Structure 1
């Protein structure tokens, strides 16, 4: 399954974004469209293919929506431009949008849910590792 078939960004756009990044062009010379495809590129590097799509779904982003575009623009401003854009990666309007009250976009959980789930998984894995080590030590301690 190709990247283009999974979501709207094309390989050509990813190549354009890579060329822009490699050119070290100044941020004030970039258009919002260029910032957006660069954000798509960065996200694709961090979460390739289906993981990119799932991340969008988890954050309540709809492909082609203003919130999704702003997310990628803000990502580029943070990573490439080194800016500290307000309102997190979603921009100031992301959490203030109140058209769909059942969406992640309209509550304060956005990224927090993802990170809390990740934190819980890490804690569970650490506890399991500790239990395994204790169990192994008991077995080896009893054989002496």
Structure 2
């Protein structure tokens, strides 16, 4: 199965909006439709559809918060395609694309500390927990770029 990231376009946005996580994951993931609206009307937001072969099966969005920092705000794989290694491939692809940004010093991600798989999953990619976010709701983890 070939996994790729593609821009969200008028041809695929509806399919991206229809993707869903499992019921037990809904509290941890924002709505794709809301995220797409957010990315269309705010500077520095990049959204990508995650494809398996030619089918959109997930969604990613990251934000260039400063010239030196990018934050991954959204990351989901549809419930029918989880536990197949697609998320790992997609996150590797997104990190490779993000690392191409000039002057980048830090990539960060936040996740609910009650999410049972997030810490181990993100640490496998080099994210190191640095504490709770400003609202004291989500765990903040970073990759420092040398």
Q: TM-score range by the shorter chain?
A: 0.3 to 0.5
Length-normalised TM-score, structure 1: 0.32
The structure whose residues are more often helix, as a share, is 1
- Report 1 or 2 for greater relative contact order, CA contacts < 8 Å, sequence distance ≥ 6: 2
- Higher Cα radius of gyration: 1
